[in-house]
Structure 1
Amino acid sequence: MNLWLAAVPAFLLTAAGTIFLVKRRKRSALKLLAALNLLLMGGALILLTGALAAGPAAAAGAGAALPPAPAQTPAGAGGSALIAAAIAVAGSSIGAAFAVAYTGSAALAAMSERPELFGRAMVVVGLAEGIAIYGLIIAIILIGRA
């Protein structure tokens, strides 16, 4: 059984207990939850530092021999490019969404008064959508160089 599926009942019980605790004791429950949150964050920080400090041989067994490592490219180069591509697509898509929302609502308001403005209004909305395409092109370039 998948570990994440086994954790779902524990998560639901914890969520129900938290809601019950907050409804019963507001001030003390918030202090307790803040302390538990700090404890969990401290544990996560300890796990993160342990994972970052571990060398490549830390995962090997006591007497296991590792095969020779092939020549590698820098470890972070491909991953950094993929993260940059994701940021480019996400940022440009969010920007295009805001631009289309504002220009689209203004275009509909203008067309409701003067229907002959349909062509010009759609050009403005299309230009706003071009922002997302620019982000997609940048992402393709970045992935191609990874």
Structure 2
Amino acid sequence: MPTNIDARLDAATTTVLAEISRTDAKAGVLLTSFSLPLAALVATVPGRDLPPLAAVCVGAGTVGLVAAMLTVLVVVRPRLDGEHRGSYLHWARCTPDQVLADLAAPTGQAEHVIRLSEIARRKYGGLRLAVDITGTSLVALAAALLTALL
């Protein structure tokens, strides 16, 4: 285990970057999985006479799946508005000397770990919300199926 602070900050940065990558991978899986029930709905529902309760449940489930997909898209959408020291957005507007000064600053890496952690937390929160919405939507779609079958 690293004992000096620089090695520990490097390890923390690597860990948080790995978590951000995991959220993006999970978002890709979620987007793919959301498309399956939506494709089934588009293929089977139009032109069918559904009982009123089933139609309401299908509508609610569809709206929920679309909301979950939009939530996931927000998770993976790049945020280009923050120019915090230690970020590539900040460095894009710096001279080489300014980048070197930024990298040499003793608190720069700690601030970077905090910013990356905030990004990872926000991404995981969005994924959690999308999963919660999806669960509710799938219950509504299951209720629609049961209502239509009975």
Q: Which has the higher helix share?
A: 1
Higher relative contact order (CA 8 A, sep 6+): 2
Q: Which has the larger radius of gyration?
A: 1
| TM-score between the two structures when normalised by the length of structure 2 | 0.41
| TM-score between the two structures when normalised by the length of structure 1 | 0.42
